[in-house]
Amino acid sequence: MEHTLQMAIQSALDVASHIASDERLGEPETNRALFRLLVGINVISSGLAQRLSEMAGFRNVLVHGYDEVQVQIVEDVVRNHLGDLDEFISAVKRRLDR
């Protein structure tokens, strides 16, 4: 489950990076900052950017093993926060439809 969650978060980061590049928004200092760049061009809301930034931080824990991964946190993200990724997908689709 952790690997699939890691891949989903990484995919959102990759899409955000492509948008930032296409819009020539500059190079963000961190992965988390990618989502803040998208707020500036009205792709996503600041609330969604914050939630996705937290997911990006959790992805770092999964990938780099900064802390021991707690199963309860993974379960919480899967049960309660996958909608944030769905919301991001919808926002990107709206951008593409423009």
Q: Could you give the CA distance from residue 57 to residue 77 in angstroms, rounded to a whole number?
A: 12
Which residue among the candidates 3, 24, 64, 79 is catalytic per the annotation? Answer: 64
Residue 18 annotated to the active site: no
Secondary structure element (H or E) that encloses residue 21, with its range: helix 2-22
Which residue among the candidates 59, 79, 94, 95 is catalytic per the annotation? Answer: 59
**CB of 16 closer than 8 Å to CB of 37:** yes
Q: In 28-81, which residue ranges form alpha helices assigned H by DSSP?
A: 31-40, 46-64, 71-80
Residue 94 annotated to the active site: no
Which active-site residues does the annotation give? 59, 64
